[in-house]
Amino acid sequence: MVWNSITATIRLVLHHVHKHKKKNNLSNDAWDVLLYFFVFTTPLFEIPQAYLIYSKKDADGVSVLTWAYFAASSVVWLIYGLRKKLKPVILAYFLYLIIETVIVIGILKYN
């Protein structure tokens, strides 16, 4: 399941880079591919924290302040992305916000 998510993400990244390149007449740059890969995959690395909290029904040692701050930061970045119409920023921080909100709720519920 994780491998399918990763390959789907890579396909989405390459599609977005190709579409973005055509729209803005940009050269095919490896940095663009790398950037978009991390924009779409980095939020996935917060999922294990949520999984641990909900599977063990325990949030001992997980800071609600830290995760609430991450969620607040994601709101600011999401608003920025919406104002500037930056699709990668919008998607990444929307994903972050969902995962971080789930984590904060889990911390409040199980701590």
Which one of 3.30.1950.10, 1.10.1370.30, 1.10.630.10, 1.20.1280.290 gives the CATH number of domain 2-110? 1.20.1280.290
Q: How many residues in total does the chain contain?
A: 111
The per-residue pLDDT for range 74-93, each reduced to its tens digit, is: 999 999 999 999 888 898 89
Quick: pLDDT tens for 28-78: 578 878 888 888 888 899 999 999 999 999 999 999 999 999 999 999 999
Amino acid occupying residue 79:
I
With beta carbons less than 8 A apart as the criterion, state whether 82 and 52 touch: no
Q: What is the pTM of this model?
A: 0.72
Structural domain boundaries in the chain: 2-110
Q: How far apart are CA 22 and CA 28, in angstroms?
A: 10
Tell me which residue of 81, 79, 100 sits closest to 89, measured CA to CA.
Answer: 81
